[in-house]
């Protein structure tokens, strides 16, 4: 049995970066960028008018002129105009190019009267503001806007579109399958008999993976039959890059998963962690370069979810070369006993204080099978082993649900 930190190091040692692929911009949401993206031109690319109004020469304004003949109009999307007469003005719209020869915009709200034929504008303002977004004031051409490793979300797609990235280089997604094990499992739509339960682990794990940006498929339950299990696992290993199993990895008479996997050539990386819940976690690899990775999660639902958010998703982030921000930390809202020699993963509900401090309100489950208690949880807080009573205010890392960690 190894510690959680030792498991982290072993998992890091088998990371093989995913290959890259080019995908259309519209298909990049949630993908991991694999190249820096630079501004293809200055941003903004021209001196951009920021208010509807008139553009004129500030020198004419300073000389005391308050009436200006309107030379023409410049709507957004039209080429730049030139102010021919420094004592005149051009009517401009938000987003248009600042006319050459003009260096001041007076918004419509600060104009006074206008002649009936709209040929002369009179100013009322006594303190004009520039109202121009200068070329290159946001970013210069060639400046990096997005760094490799960024998980692309809506604001990133907007930036990619603005710089003309119709195709984007991203990490290729691994083929991931989630397969529960156990003769007691029946489909969700089935009315179970007294000795049966509906399969829920595969649904929760697939949802957790997809929230984090890693689509996965759920396989039908694998039965507790050694021969049939071997045949099913052999096919799953052939068809997928990451195989996630739930159940069959503990010490029961029908827990065949570890031994069958090793018969199929999967090399055990570790089995059993000093953590609670989730102690029986099994991890192995297949291939000369560890191309395929197998996670054998415990079958109890809370243990399954702990293994997913604490071990599997961070592993997939590293494999995709995804840049990970700082881990969220929260302070316990009440005392918690940590007498065991095992790292404790405690379900918590988070609450933000007025000063920004995150409080973690413990949610105590009846057992690692008490999945229903997680209904109000935001994630799991990781607490060190053998500390006795951890006081309210103790800070620990939180692994969040919903792909937020």
pLDDT category, 296, cuts 50, 70, 90? very high
What per-residue confidence (pLDDT) applies to 47? 96
**Who's near 118: CB < 8 A, 6+ residues apart?**
70
**pLDDT above 60 for 116:** no
Instruction: Give the mean model confidence (pLDDT) for residues 192-214.
Output: 93
Instruction: Give the mean model confidence (pLDDT) for residues 73-95.
Output: 95
From residue 320, alpha-carbon distances to 4, 284, 352 in Å are: 22, 19, 31
pLDDT category, 110, cuts 50, 70, 90? confident
Report the C-alpha gap between 334 and 394 in whole angstroms.
9
If you average pLDDT over every residue of the chain, what do you get?
Answer: 92
Between 53-67, 225-239, 275-289, the lowest mean confidence (pLDDT) is in: 53-67
What per-residue confidence (pLDDT) applies to 117? 55
Report the C-alpha gap between 135 and 116 in whole angstroms.
35
Domains and CATH numbers, the chain: 4-19+172-320 (3.40.980.10), 31-43+137-171 (3.90.105.10), 48-133 (2.170.190.11), 329-400 (2.40.340.10)
pLDDT category, 113, cuts 50, 70, 90? low
Q: What angle do CA 365, 399, 352 make, to 5 degrees?
A: 85
pLDDT category, 118, cuts 50, 70, 90? low
The pLDDT tens digits of the residues spanning 256-281 come to 899 999 999 999 999 999 999 999 99
pLDDT category, 24, cuts 50, 70, 90? very high
Please write down the HEC assignment for all residues of 35-53.
CCEECCCCECCCCEECCCE
The pLDDT tens digits of the residues spanning 1-14 come to 999 999 999 999 99
Q: How many CB atoms lie within 10 A of CB 236?
A: 19
Of all residues in the chain, the percent with pLDDT exceeding 70 is 96
What per-residue confidence (pLDDT) applies to 23? 98
The dihedral of CA 340, 342, 348, 352: what is its sign?
positive
Instruction: Give the mean model confidence (pLDDT) for residues 105-129.
Output: 71
Whether the Cβ atoms of residue 81 and residue 74 lie closer than 8 Å to each other:
yes
Radius of gyration in angstroms for the set of CA atoms belonging to the chain, rounded to a whole number: 31
Selected residue with higher pLDDT from 66 and 140: 140
- The pTM assigned to this predicted structure is 0.88
Report the C-alpha gap between 296 and 283 in whole angstroms.
6
The pLDDT tens digits of the residues spanning 199-208 come to 899 999 999 9
**pLDDT above 70 for 156:** yes
pLDDT category, 15, cuts 50, 70, 90? confident
Q: How many CB atoms lie within 10 A of CB 142?
A: 10
DSSP characters over 148-204: TTPBP-HHHHHHHHHTT-SEEEEEPPP-EEEEEB-TTEE-TTS---TT-EE--HHHH
């Amino acid at each position: 049995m190894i510690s959680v930190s030792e498991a982290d190091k072993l998992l890091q040692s088998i990371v093989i970066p995913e290959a890259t692929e080019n995908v259309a911009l519209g298909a990049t949401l949630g993908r991991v960028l694999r190249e820096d993206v630079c501004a293809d031109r200055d941003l903004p690319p021209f001196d951009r008018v920021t208010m509807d109004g008139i553009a004129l020469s500030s020198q004419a304004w300073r000389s005391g002129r308050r009436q200006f003949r309107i030379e023409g109009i410049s709507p957004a999307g039209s080429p730049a105009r030139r102010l021919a007469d420094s004592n005149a003005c051009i009517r401009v719209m938000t987003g248009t190019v600042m006319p050459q020869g003009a260096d001041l915009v007076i918004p419509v709200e600060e104009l006074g009267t206008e002649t009936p034929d709209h040929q002369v504008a009179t100013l009322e303002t006594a303190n004009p503001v520039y109202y121009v977004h200068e070329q290159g004031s946001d970013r210069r051409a060639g400046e990096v806007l997005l760094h490799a490793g960024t998980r692309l979300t809506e604001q990133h797609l907007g930036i990619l579109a603005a710089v003309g990235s119709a195709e984007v280089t991203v990490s290729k997604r691994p083929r991931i399958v989630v397969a529960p094990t156990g003769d007691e499992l029946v489909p969700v739509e089935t009315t179970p008999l007294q000795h049966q339960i509906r399969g829920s682990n595969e649904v929760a794990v697939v949802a957790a993976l997809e929230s984090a940006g890693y689509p996965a498929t759920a396989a039908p339950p694998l039965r507790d039959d050694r021969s049939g299990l071997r045949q099913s696992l052999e096919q799953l290993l052939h068809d997928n890059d990451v195989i996630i199993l739930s159940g069959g990895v503990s010490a029961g008479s029908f827990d065949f998963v570890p031994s069958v996997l090793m018969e199929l050539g999967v090399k055990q990386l570790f089995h059993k962690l000093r953590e609670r819940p989730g102690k029986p976690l099994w991890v192995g690899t297949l291939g000369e370069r560890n191309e395929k990775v197998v996670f054998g999660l415990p079958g109890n639902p809370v243990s399954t979810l702990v293994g997913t958010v604490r071990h599997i998703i961070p592993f997939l982030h590293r494999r995709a070369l995804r840049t990970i921000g700082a881990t969220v930390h929260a302070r316990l809202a009440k005392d918690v006993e940590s007498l065991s020699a095992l790292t404790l993963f405690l379900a918590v509900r988070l609450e933000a204080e007025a000063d920004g401090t995150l409080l973690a309100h413990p949610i105590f489950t009846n057992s690692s099978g008490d999945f229903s208690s997680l209904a109000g949880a935001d994630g799991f807080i990781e607490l060190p082993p053998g500390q006795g009573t951890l006081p309210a205010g103790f800070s620990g890392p939180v692994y969040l649900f919903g792909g937020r960690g």
